Chain A
Amino acid sequence: MKRRSFLRSAGIAGATVSTLPTLINSFTVQALAGGDPRLHAMLEEQDRILVLIQLFGGNDGLNTVVPINNPQYYEGRPTIAIPKNKTLRIHDDLGWHPAMKGFRGLYDQGQLAIVQGVSYPNPDRSHFRGTDIWLTATDADVLGSTGWVGRYLQTLAPGYPTELPAHPLAIQIGTQTSLGLLGSSGTMGISFRDPEEFYRLVNGGGGSAEVPSSEQTDTPAGKEIAFMRNIAKSADVYAQVVKQASDKAGSSTADFPTSDLAGKLKVVSQLISGGLKTRVYLVSWAAASFDTHANQTLTTDPTLGIHANLLTELSEAVSAFMAEMQAKGHHERVAGMTFSEFGRRVAENGSTGTDHGTAAPLFVFGSQVNGGVYGANPNLQDLDAIGDMKMQHDYRDVYASVLLQWFGVPSTQAQQLLYKDFSTTAPSIFKALPTSVEDHQRTSQMFLTVAPNPAAHVVTVRANVAQGSNAVLKLSDMRGKVCGTAILDGWTGVGSIDVSHLSEATYIVTLEDGPRTTHTFVNVSR
């Protein structure tokens, strides 16, 4: 197989494809862990994955998470409201659509967060504008040109696409490239439907011909050529990596339904199980749409119909995916989030459907998620002029939760990525990052306490060191650069390092006591 043929044929052989080692929080496992398998394992745990599920069309939140005791809900929806006794219990005033059995299962296990009333100021009711706002994480009146995920991934690989990480940073299962994955120098992700097919496409070329690329120019055509060269380059580099992961994955344990969405999440699960270090996956329906203007439910049974079918597909696919992750032992480093450009109007229209609305619930799932309902039941008496719900959470609050709590991004950087500070309104959706001693008992038995964590000025370590030894404490940043050292008191096992001059980030604490070396993390935050 001519692995390089696509690269050559795209006229980019002259470009350097310097494949960096796997990226983890913008440093490399290999460089840092060296020969230490325990640190390696610890860093791998840090390698967290986000699976985004887009519900294009505007999901009807009220019929997904039903306010079962709200008279306005039933008055506004005489035909399509889900009867209280058909819902699956969330709490006394809230019930799942009966199609959401899988979500209910995750919720009951404390692995699913329902964030109520998610929207943004001056919500847009256009599918396309609304989707762009959600993907770019901008205010409603700002036309963004890059995606929030793309911007985050760019911080992990500042040299992209000149320097490509060894594994793709983001993968979209399908044939589109989402605006959400767009960084300032093009897409940070790749897209394909099937790893095998992708590999064949990239490597199936007949020619070994190598036509050099024309010089990059600032003309529109020159920009398009550069755009295509970058895509060709990442396709060439990643087709093989992706196939290897897919081949290595082995068969699935979980019973994936045969639906479009489940098939895509199955591919994601295989890539994760096969060891791919991709940070973000994006999946969506190929054709189906949540745009339920008409025939949202059957007129004879409001629990059945187009919307029920979509929710069934969503719920079953996610449930199978999480079961598979659990079975393969990856559940602790995988979290998922749904999003949709808007919810739907409270009152039904005359076509057994609902028109475009505003705020709606959003779901975050995973074993590291603090399950529960965030926010109050929707207030259907306090609607806007058009009859739509007011927001409780800005969608960027949830993005901030993901960045800060799941990916461990420092708050100053999260603020840059989201253009505003959402750290104070970000709900605590995720369990704490494994930065504490407790989280790393098995890899860091020498540490007793690392406090405070997060630290603002001084971090003090207490460790279990040999009496009278001169154990050395080192603090290094995520690129491995040492930024502080201290000698531990040989009798008390206590040492302190000044961190007041360090920028907000996660740092590695290394303890060297004679032949023993161990590591843990500390966050610097102010």
Chain B
Amino acid sequence: METLQIRTTPLSLEDAVHLLRRATYHPTYQATKALVGLTPSEASAKLLADPVPPQPDLAWANTVPNLQDFAANARLWPEMQQWWMSRVLSVPHVHEKLVSMWHNIFTSDYINVYIAQWLLNQHKLIRSNATSYATLAEKMVGDPAMLRYLNGELSVKGRPNENFAREWFELFTLGIGNYTESDVLEAARAFTGWRINGVQGVYSRQLADTGTKTILGKTGSWDWKDVVRITLESDACCRYVAKRIIKQFVEFYPTDEVVSNLQKIVRDANYDMNVILQTLLSSEYFYSSAVRGALIKSPAEMVVGLASVLGARGVQPAYAVATMTKLTQEPFYPPTVEGWKGHHAWITSSTFPQRQRFAEAFIDGRQAGSSAKLLDADGKSLTPDVVAMAKQLPDADDAVKLVANMASLMLAVPVTKKQLDVLLDIMLAGAQVYEWNINSPSATQRIKFLLQAIVRMPEYQLT
């Protein structure tokens, strides 16, 4: 099961939607149907090979940062958040999931970084290197947003600042237990020499401590590049990356065995994410019943996934950002340098009901906690066409089949007979099964009842 052996059985509808839920933010019925019948390898190859559409730049992307005026910078932050979310809302590509994952490893936030151009450039750095962890990790060292966030720009030869060096090992590359305090001190020396010039990180050998150091047991006159090389060569780094990938794409509590198996693949692929994901997303392990519904949706998955499955195009990015913020995932603002802990941390006595209120209101074309209509970017009312959505499903004029198909599409775990019966009752709202007519004017409200009942279920929080 956990050997990462390639599964050969062609994808069922449930398999295909599982793949889309995990690999993308857009598990729609249409996309699902396009994968049904393919082998897992074919399906992953198709998703990974899809061209990543180009993204129009923000108007101020290449402007000179204003280092003095707080307000001038602060105005750019929401623009940047919305720009990112507009992308997530519209691009059903694996790439967007990778970008999110790397942001949650190489963290930064707009309050500490302050200069919007730096943070935007870091985001683009992640975007353009999302398929190679090795390249990304190396470029991150001299990234201005990172140099600011973890004080690399202030670290001086002789009296180094340990902030970046510690998180480099603990959070970015190896994980706790795989380095010593001495490694932190020595790496902090090697990471000196960086300053920010405009929008560039600039390294100066004169300012750097290039003396003899011992890093992870290797001694030499190491500079920052050597630290990167030595770190990435270590098995612990492959293991750490493997575990992070599994936690993002498969399950939160993987066995040591499966981590070891992916670790080998990470090593052989030299951190190439396309290779790693092609194997992982085609494996028996990925499709095993034990991991179905084993993760809790992030707020981004919650918001974007719901809009997408309902076919609600044109959600204002600002609304997505605001909702994610309430659900404790504000873009470009992780709670700590560790990023969002995810999984259980997403669900509290406040955020769980908040997720339910958001989803029921969205189905109704309303903003959560208010009777105000949801509007699209053009200011038009954004009420999901739930009848059109239902009609995509086979046998939508059969109430029993419609409820079952809707549950399979919306929920990552199989529903029980009892649950289906109740969902059917909710949709019929007193009518008889044989009276169901998808074309009747009352169908809209009834499908809304069904969808709202589904999104209130704890099962809906799973992916």
Contacts and interface: CB of A to CB of B under 8 A. Distances in A.
Interface of A: 6, 9-11, 56, 124-129, 175-177, 190-193, 197-198, 200-202, 204-207, 209-215, 219-221, 224-225, 227-229, 231-232, 234-235, 238, 287, 289, 291, 293-294, 348-353, 355-356, 386
Interface string B360-393: 1100100001000000000000000000000000
A190 B350 CA distance: 8
B293 A211 contact: no
B166 A356 contact: yes
18 contacts: A9-B453, A10-B458, A11-B419, A126-B170, A128-B170, A191-B349, A192-B350, A211-B453, A214-B419, A225-B458, A231-B348, A232-B352, A235-B353, A289-B336, A294-B151, A294-B163, A349-B159, A351-B159
A289 B107 CA distance: 15
Nearest 7 interchain pairs by C-beta: A350-B159, A221-B293, A351-B154, A220-B294, A228-B458, A235-B349, A9-B456
Interface in B127-185: 150-151, 154-156, 158-163, 166, 170, 176, 181, 184-185
B354 A221 contact: no
Given A191-B350, A214-B415, A293 B462 contact: no
A220 B290 contact: yes
A200 B251 CA distance: 33
B338 interface: yes
B349 to A, nearest CB: 4
Given A204-B357, A351-B155, A11 B457 contact: yes
A204 B156 contact: no
Given A206-B360, A287-B111, A11 B458 contact: yes
A355 to B, nearest CB: 4
Interface of B: 111, 150-151, 154-156, 158-163, 166, 170, 176, 181, 184-185, 251-253, 289-294, 296, 328, 335-338, 344-345, 347-354, 356-357, 360-361, 364, 369, 412-413, 415-416, 418-419, 422-423, 426, 449, 452-454, 456-459, 461-462
Contacts of A228: 347, 352, 458, 461
Given A127-B338, A175-B348, A350-B160, A202 B364 contact: no
Nearest to A171: B349
A220 B291 CA distance: 7
Given A9-B356, A177-B349, A201-B357, 19 more contacts: A9-B453, A125-B166, A190-B348, A191-B348, A192-B350, A204-B353, A205-B353, A206-B360, A206-B452, A211-B426, A212-B418, A214-B459, A221-B294, A221-B412, A225-B462, A228-B458, A235-B350, A352-B154, A386-B185
Contacts of A125: 166, 181, 184
B350 to A, nearest CB: 5
A205 to B, nearest CB: 6
Contacts of B349: 177, 190-192, 198, 202, 231, 234-235, 238
A207 B350 contact: no
Contacts of B151: 293-294, 351, 353
A348 B412 CA distance: 52
Given A224-B296, A228-B458, A350 B155 contact: yes
B5 to A, nearest CB: 20
Nearest to A197: B350
Contacts of B159: 348-351
B161 A353 contact: yes
A214 B412 CA distance: 13
Contact of A349 (B162, B418, B426, B454): B162
B160 A176 contact: no
B123 to A, nearest CB: 20
A131 B329 CA distance: 21
A126 B158 contact: no
Contacts of B154: 294, 350-353
B362 to A, nearest CB: 12
Nearest to B169: A126
Given A211-B456, A212-B418, A220-B251, A205 B348 contact: no
A238 B296 CA distance: 24
Contact of B162 (A190, A215, A224, A356): A356
Given A349-B159, A350-B160, A198 B291 contact: no
Contact of A293 (B163, B412, B419): B163
B350 A221 contact: no
Given A175-B348, A192-B349, A198-B349, A205 B360 contact: yes
Contacts of A353: 151, 154, 161
